[in-house]
């Protein structure tokens, strides 16, 4: 209950506001809020007294300054100080509550005006009002308190009763889908059950799933040697803190069953593990609720966190974090958890000092029961909409061009792949199976087929993944993948075809949003994939333009194999800074140029000082693995686009019809098994018509140059490029750009006569 001073403050505020007679508890439009401000307390001691009397507003005011600010402002609690409370309604339909600490007489100074709360008008939901009223009477010293779970129960009931988008009839019907095993927590016992044997038709079939980090400390697991023991009884003392607290929540919310991966899957039985991993889509989609232990990095950390529950009153606004202070809960850095986030219709998230709610209709927290921070960012929302909708996924009704709509949806998948691969994974061999559930769920809402990480829709665009030289993807899970501890860029035992991003163990990126505008330059004839959810093989047949050459590769930091053998040709760990690579006395960024030769390079000469066949190509080459510089590569052109540059010194990109052409390609090497069969080893972007054998565009670009010594001089010596002008003019004729058309492959005569190019079919495995 608020103290007398706060009560008087709000009575004065209401008296100066105009609340019209027609206003009711569902209508804020008929209220004219007025600005109101007054000194609430005259010293810190006064404030502490009312805070200790459990006034939530005074407790919130007391917690708003940092301990360092309090130390500097008022070392003495009795020192004269004005604590000014203010309701500001000048620029908003709803009033906002602010506090300012003002030193009396200007002796000490003043703390900045800070928002404490935003008043969302009257509580329109009577059930919420009742729940909050009851919550105020309950113990609230941790996120696992009765008060927190009372609000969680309200969210759950509200969602089940009223949210059409979140309802799943199968979760309550007598014939609803069930996992193979569940943990039964009824009657103060804990035991593993086989659902086909223990749960009959007509029984309560609702269950909860748990999302957690395994961590470095070994947690209890079901194994072949203890499964019978677990079916009889699981000793609560053997459970991790996270498991114990998750079971407490399960019981408090009225559920009997909970699904926990380490207990419901036989961990040392390969066939059982693969079979159960393949049902993850249904496990999370059919769970009535998912409990997420967000801040816990391991089982010993638990779900709950002690806190001062009094300052979690519903309308409290979270103050923005200072730059660089954002904390990513360990749970959201895990690859497996992305699947759980997207597939679960509703989630109760134990997230540090407060509990959050997320479902397909709404989200909220104890501070803001409906609204506030959402754990789902743009691409996650798009995929969840696709999973829980009956509409074709690769279609957006509001976009007239269905070709464009499909690319937008495909882009969301690409963002999801980037999000997923940047997360941490204890076993990198799980990379394919840990995203299988998402793919299965989307497959039910599209006619397009799914192939080991890529979709049939614009399959050619799906091939354009790469291992980046620097940070190119920003999400809520940065730095979660441990680059240093990942020793091999390829899986020790292949789990996917080389053309799939699943074939590498490290984070990957896609050229988004460019993919929305790229023009196809190859034809996908067939795609074949076979295997288990955990490992697949496959082949891809394409026709397109191919040219061969050699690359002295510069390796991304993520390819740790290269750091040992080629440290001088490996970029540092991405930090946001632009690190240059020095090659033969010239320095450049590997996103700006790569080192290429049409013919077999002079490998007898020192690579840093000799080998005159090497030259710089404007663009980027990103290897998927270690590639010796004397390995002949076959490049297959996938896509193209006009990409120009505004007049120097501007750096704005243009896409005019006659701008130079950029080509996106993949690099292949023969498998040696069958003639015409290749595997992918890299990704290359050829800028300024370099693919066609020309060097068009602006010679010197701001921020994209070659530094030290003679710059370009010498790098072009002895090559056909000496014969060409920088405007794209070759001796004997002009180089034209106007042939780029969607889905068309240019005629071979468009290439420089010195370029060896062929159009044929290849098989990539």
pLDDT in tens, 281-314: 899 989 999 999 876 677 778 888 888 777 665 5
Phi, psi of 184 (to 5 degrees): -95, 120
Beta-carbon contacts of 722 under 8 Å, excluding residues fewer than 6 positions away, are: 716
Give the tokens for residue 577.
């800074």
Phi, psi of 533 (to 5 degrees): -60, -25
Spell out the long-range contacts of 1-8 with Cβ–Cβ below 8 A and sequence spacing 24 or more: 1/54, 1/55, 1/136, 2/55, 2/56, 2/57, 2/58, 3/50, 3/53, 3/55, 3/57, 3/58, 5/40, 5/41, 5/50, 5/58, 6/40, 6/50, 6/55, 6/57, 6/58, 6/85
DSSP state of 715: T
Look at residue 1 in the predicted model and tell me its pLDDT. 66
Q: Number of folded domains in the chain?
A: 3
Residue 623 lies in a domain: yes
Indicate whether 274 and 361 sit together in one domain.
Answer: yes
Three-state DSSP at 724 gives strand
Residue 142 lies in a domain: yes
Residue 519 lies in a domain: no
| Packing angle of the helix pair 378-387, 436-443 (nearest 10 deg) | 50
Look at residue 504 in the predicted model and tell me its pLDDT. 96
Indicate whether 722 and 588 sit together in one domain.
Answer: yes
Residue 333 lies in a domain: no
Residue 82 lies in a domain: yes
Indicate whether 162 and 49 sit together in one domain.
Answer: no
Of 335, 353, 375, the position where a domain reaches its end is 375
Beta-carbon contacts of 282 under 8 Å, excluding residues fewer than 6 positions away, are: 177, 179, 437
Residue 414 lies in a domain: no
Indicate whether 754 and 677 sit together in one domain.
Answer: yes
Indicate whether 114 and 164 sit together in one domain.
Answer: no
How far apart are alpha carbons 613 and 551 in whole angstroms?
A: 11
Question: Taking Cα atoms as reference points, which of 355, 444, 333 lies closest to residue 392?
Answer: 444
Look at residue 595 in the predicted model and tell me its pLDDT. 92
Indicate whether 205 and 230 sit together in one domain.
Answer: yes
Domain carrying residue 308: 128-320+344-375
Question: Taking Cα atoms as reference points, which of 642, 656, 639 lies closest to residue 744?
Answer: 639
Indicate whether 582 and 704 sit together in one domain.
Answer: yes
Look at residue 367 in the predicted model and tell me its pLDDT. 73
Indicate whether 731 and 631 sit together in one domain.
Answer: yes
How far apart are alpha carbons 716 and 479 in whole angstroms?
A: 39
Q: What is the CA 310 to chain-centroid distance, rounded? A: 33
Give the tokens for residue 194.
């086989």
Q: For the chain, give percent helix, strand, coil, nearest 5.
A: 25, 25, 50
DSSP string, 261-329: HHHHS-TT-HHHHHHHHTTHHHHHHH-SEEEEETT-SSTTT-S--B--GGGG-TTBPPPPPPTT-----
Beta-carbon contacts of 715 under 8 Å, excluding residues fewer than 6 positions away, are: 584, 586, 614, 615, 616, 706
> 180, 195 in Cβ contact below 8 A?
yes
Residue 438 lies in a domain: no
Q: Looking at the chain, how many residues does it have? A: 765
How far apart are alpha carbons 76 and 89 in whole angstroms?
A: 34
Element (H, E) at 32: strand 31-32
pLDDT less than 50: residues of the chain = 21-28, 107, 120-122, 169-174, 315-327, 604-610, 708-733
Indicate whether 117 and 134 sit together in one domain.
Answer: no
Q: What is the CA 105 to chain-centroid distance, rounded? A: 51
Look at residue 362 in the predicted model and tell me its pLDDT. 85
Look at residue 630 in the predicted model and tell me its pLDDT. 92
Indicate whether 135 and 114 sit together in one domain.
Answer: no
Phi, psi of 683 (to 5 degrees): -140, 135
Of 100, 122, 144, the position where a domain reaches its end is 122
| Packing angle of the helix pair 56-63, 44-52 (nearest 10 deg) | 130
Look at residue 738 in the predicted model and tell me its pLDDT. 67
Of 122, 138, 162, the position where a domain reaches its end is 122
How does 702-720 read in b/e, with b if 16+ C-beta sit within 10 Å? eebbbeeeeebeebeeebb
Indicate whether 593 and 568 sit together in one domain.
Answer: yes
| Packing angle of the helix pair 335-343, 436-443 (nearest 10 deg) | 30
Indicate whether 681 and 708 sit together in one domain.
Answer: yes
């Amino acid at each position: 209950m608020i103290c007398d001073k706060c009560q008087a403050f709000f009575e004065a505020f209401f008296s100066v506001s105009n609340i019209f007679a027609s206003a009711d508890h569902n209508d804020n439009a008929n209220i004219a809020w007025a600005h109101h401000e007054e000194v609430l307390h005259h010293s810190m001691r006064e404030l502490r007294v009312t805070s200790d009397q459990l006034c939530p507003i005074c407790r919130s005011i007391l917690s708003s300054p940092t301990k360092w600010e309090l130390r500097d402002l008022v070392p003495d609690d009795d020192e004269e100080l004005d604590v000014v409370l203010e309701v500001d309604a000048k620029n908003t339909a709803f009033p906002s509550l602010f506090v300012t600490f003002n030193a009396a007489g200007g002796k000490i100074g003043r703390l900045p005006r800070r928002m404490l709360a935003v008043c969302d008008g009257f509580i329109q939901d009577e059930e919420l009002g009742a729940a909050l009223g009851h919550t105020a009477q309950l113990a609230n010293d941790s996120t696992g308190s009765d008060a927190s779970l009372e609000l969680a129960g309200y969210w759950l009931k509200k969602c089940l009763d009223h949210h059409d988008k979140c309802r799943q009839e199968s979760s309550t019907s007598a014939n609803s889908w069930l996992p193979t095993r569940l943990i039964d927590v009824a009657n103060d016992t804990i035991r593993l059950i086989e659902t086909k044997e223990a749960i009959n038709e007509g029984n309560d079939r609702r269950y909860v799933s748990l999302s957690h980090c395994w961590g470095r400390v070994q947690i209890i697991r079901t194994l072949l040697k203890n499964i019978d023991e677990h079916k009889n009884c699981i000793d609560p003392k053997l459970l991790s803190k996270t498991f114990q607290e998750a079971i407490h929540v399960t019981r408090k919310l009225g559920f009997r069953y909970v699904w926990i991966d380490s207990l419901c899957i036989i961990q040392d039985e390969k066939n059982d593990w693969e079979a159960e991993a393949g049902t993850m889509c249904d496990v999370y989609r059919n769970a009535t609720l998912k409990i997420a232990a967000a801040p816990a990095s391991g089982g010993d950390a638990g779900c709950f966190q002690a806190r001062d529950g009094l300052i979690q009153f519903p309308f409290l606004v979270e103050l923005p974090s200072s730059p660089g202070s954002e904390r990513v809960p360990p749970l959201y850095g895990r690859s497996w958890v992305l699947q759980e986030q997207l597939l679960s219709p509703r989630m109760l998230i134990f997230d540090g000092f407060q509990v959050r709610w997320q479902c397909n209709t709404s989200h909220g927290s104890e501070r803001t029961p409906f609204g506030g921070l959402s754990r789902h960012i743009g691409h996650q929302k798009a995929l969840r909409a696709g999973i829980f909708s009956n509409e074709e996924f690769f279609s957006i009704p509001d976009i007239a061009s269905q070709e464009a709509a499909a690319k937008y949806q495909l882009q969301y998948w690409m963002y999801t792949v980037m999000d997923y691969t940047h997360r941490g994974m204890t076993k990198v061999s799980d990379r394919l199976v840990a995203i299988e559930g998402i793919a299965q769920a989307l497959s039910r809402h599209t006619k397009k087929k799914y192939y080991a990480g890529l979709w049939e829709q614009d399959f050619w665009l799906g091939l354009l993944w790469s291992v980046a030289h620097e940070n190119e993807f920003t999400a809520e899970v940065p730095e979660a993948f441990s680059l240093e501890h990942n020793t091999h860029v390829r899986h020790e035992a292949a789990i996917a075809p080389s053309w799939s991003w699943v074939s590498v163990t490290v984070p990957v990126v896609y050229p988004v949003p460019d993919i929305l505008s790229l023009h196809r330059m190859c034809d996908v004839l067939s795609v074949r994939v076979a295997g288990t959810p955990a490992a697949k093989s496959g082949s891809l047949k394409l026709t397109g333009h191919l040219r061969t050459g050699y690359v002295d590769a510069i390796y991304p930091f993520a390819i740790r194999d290269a750091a040992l053998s080629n440290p001088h040709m490996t970029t540092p760990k991405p930090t946001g800074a632009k690190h240059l690579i020095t090659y033969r006395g010239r320095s450049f960024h590997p996103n700006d140029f790569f080192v290429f030769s049409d013919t077999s390079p002079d490998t007898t000469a020192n690579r840093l000082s000799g080998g005159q066949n090497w030259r710089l190509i404007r663009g980027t080459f990103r290897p998927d693995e270690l590639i010796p510089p004397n390995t002949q590569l076959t490049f297959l052109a996938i896509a193209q686009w006009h990409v120009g540059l505004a007049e120097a010194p501007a750096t704005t990109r243009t896409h005019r019809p006659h701008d130079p052409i950029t080509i996106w390609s993949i690099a292949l090497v023969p498998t040696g098994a069958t003639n015409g069969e290749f595997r992918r080893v890299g990704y290359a972007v050829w800028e300024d018509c370099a693919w066609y054998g020309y060097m068009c565009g602006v010679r010197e670009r701001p921020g994209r140059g070659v530094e030290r010594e003679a710059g370009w001089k010498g790098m072009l010596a002895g090559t056909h490029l000496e014969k060409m002008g920088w405007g794209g003019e070759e001796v004997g004729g002009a180089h034209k750009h106007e042939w780029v058309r969607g889905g068309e492959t240019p005629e071979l005569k468009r290439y420089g006569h010195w370029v060896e190019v062929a159009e044929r079919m290849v098989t990539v495995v």
